[in-house]
């Protein structure tokens, strides 16, 4: 079932043109001319219930603007968007009951209140029955490891603690869809992992559909089965992470742990790179692998040998490089 359907979505913003020539500043101030820019430019996609989709692309690509239209904060200039069968900006109140939103750079928590009080207030705003509220709070506190700071005022929380609080707050009313705009920005490895594990768990157990924008490629690797890549408001790729690797030259590698490697004695395919005692051979063709292993074992004392699947972050880096050219 498609829970999100976006068709030919466009969002324009108007801005004054950049001043050129003499009297630049005066001209810019008194100019009535405006430039119109399609920040989201004819974007079409659907998302199935229970999917985790990475919505990625370079700075200014139009990711946040799309999320704002999906969550009802912004009205599309043209095109349509249906989330859960509703048009978000037209049914804002009703829509809010079905979605959770986290903008990594902002917070929906009350700055001066202890975290737990923000949760209680949100529980009241969304009419979450007491029993359900307590069950969710206990579960989120446990998985997100929040018990030590539940009573701390939000302004005193670290970024990682605050972000965990924000994600819990977005889910207390059990929405079917969660929009996350940069949920792991600026977090340390431990906080990132807690959030990633939590998102995996609620997606699996509660079948919550998750759309996340991120510059942290590790989020994509760990969480997303599908990626939508946009640049300058247009979708450049939409598909599974495996297809992405296939399309953008993600390579498999034979990784050989060989402490006594002797380059001069080797006549097989070239070693692409070395890391400590590990040698990385790019696999161009599966038929290469067996003869290569024989050749290696005849020549060397091999401690370990594995095949490494394409790394999605390498693939995405290539994609970024390609659009920069």
Nearer Cβ to ligand ATP (60/268): 60
**Piece of 61-69, 90-98, 253-261, 277-285 that binds ligand ATP (CB under 6 A):** 61-69
Residues 325, 319: Cα–Cα separation, whole Å = 10
Nearer Cβ to ligand ATP (64/84): 64
15 binds ligand ATP (CB under 6 A): yes
Q: What share of the chain is helix, strand, coil (3-state, %, to 5)?
A: 40, 30, 35
Span 24-43, contacts to ligand ATP by CB under 6 A: 39
Residues 38, 79: Cα–Cα separation, whole Å = 12
Maximal CA-CA distance, the chain: 79
Interface residue with ligand ATP among 59, 148, 267, 276 (CB under 6 A) is: 59
Nearer Cβ to ligand ATP (62/310): 62
Task: Give me the least distance between CB of 143 and ligand ATP, in Å please.
Answer: 27
Span 63-92, contacts to ligand ATP by CB under 6 A: 63-65
Burial 289-325 (b: 16+ CB within 10 A, else e): eeebeeebeebbebeebeeeebebeebbeebeeeeee
Task: Give me the least distance between CB of 15 and ligand ATP, in Å please.
Answer: 6
Residues 44, 142: Cα–Cα separation, whole Å = 38
Nearer Cβ to ligand ATP (220/254): 220
Residues 88, 95: Cα–Cα separation, whole Å = 6
**3-class secondary structure, 181:** strand
What is the distance of C-alpha 243 from the center of its chain? 17
Task: Give me the least distance between CB of 108 and ligand ATP, in Å please.
Answer: 18
Cβ(323)–Cβ(236) below 8 Å = yes
**Piece of 52-60, 185-193, 286-294, 306-314 that binds ligand ATP (CB under 6 A):** 52-60
Task: Give me the least distance between CB of 47 and ligand ATP, in Å please.
Answer: 18
54 binds ligand ATP (CB under 6 A): no
Task: Give me the least distance between CB of 187 and ligand ATP, in Å please.
Answer: 16
Copy the structure tokens of residue 63.
């990711």
Rounded to 5°, the CA angle 86-89-90 comes to: 65
Task: Give me the least distance between CB of 59 and ligand ATP, in Å please.
Answer: 3
Nearer Cβ to ligand ATP (145/218): 218
13 binds ligand ATP (CB under 6 A): yes
Cβ(318)–Cβ(248) below 8 Å = yes
Residues 241, 248: Cα–Cα separation, whole Å = 10
Nearer Cβ to ligand ATP (15/20): 15
Copy the structure tokens of residue 291.
């003869």
209 binds ligand ATP (CB under 6 A): no
Nearer Cβ to ligand ATP (4/168): 4
Nearer Cβ to ligand ATP (163/256): 163
102 binds ligand ATP (CB under 6 A): no
Residues 265, 308: Cα–Cα separation, whole Å = 25
Span 164-203, contacts to ligand ATP by CB under 6 A: none
Copy the structure tokens of residue 224.
């997303």
Binding site for ligand ATP (CB under 6 A): 13, 15, 39, 57, 59-65
């Amino acid at each position: 079932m498609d829970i999100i359907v976006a068709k030919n979505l466009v969002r324009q913003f108007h801005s004054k043109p950049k001043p050129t020539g003499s009297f630049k500043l005066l001209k810019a101030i008194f100019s009535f001319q405006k430039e119109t820019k399609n920040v989201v430019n004819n974007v079409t996609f659907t998302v199935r219930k229970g999917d985790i989709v990475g919505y990625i692309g370079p700075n200014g690509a139009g990711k946040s603007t799309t999320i704002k239209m999906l969550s009802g904060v912004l009205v599309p200039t043209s095109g349509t968007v249906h989330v859960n069968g509703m048009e978000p900006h037209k049914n804002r109140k009703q829509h809010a009951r079905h979605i959770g939103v986290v903008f990594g750079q902002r917070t929906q928590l009350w700055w001066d209140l202890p975290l737990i009080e923000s949760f209680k207030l949100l529980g009241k705003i969304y009419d979450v029955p007491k029993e359900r509220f307590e069950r969710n709070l206990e579960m989120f506190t446990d998985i997100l490891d929040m018990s030590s700071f539940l009573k701390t005022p939000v302004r005193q929380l670290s970024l990682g603690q605050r972000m965990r609080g924000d994600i819990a707050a977005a889910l207390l009313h059990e929405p079917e869809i969660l929009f996350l705009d940069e949920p792991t920005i600026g977090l340390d490895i431990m906080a990132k992992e807690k959030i990633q594990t939590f998102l995996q768990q609620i997606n699996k157990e509660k079948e919550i559909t998750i759309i996340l924008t991120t510059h942290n490629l590790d989020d994509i690797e760990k969480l997303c089965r599908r990626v939508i890549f946009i640049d300058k408001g247009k979708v450049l790729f939409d598909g599974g992470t495996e297809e992405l690797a296939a399309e953008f030259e993600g390579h498999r590698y034979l990784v050989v742990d060989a402490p006594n490697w002797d380059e001069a004695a080797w006549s097989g395919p070239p070693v692409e790179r070395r890391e400590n005692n590990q040698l990385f051979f790019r696999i161009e063709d599966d038929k290469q692998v067996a003869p290569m292993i024989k050749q290696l074992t005849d020549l060397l004392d091999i401690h370990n040998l594995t095949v490494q699947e394409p790394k999605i972050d390498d693939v995405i880096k290539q994609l970024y490089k390609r659009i920069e050219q």
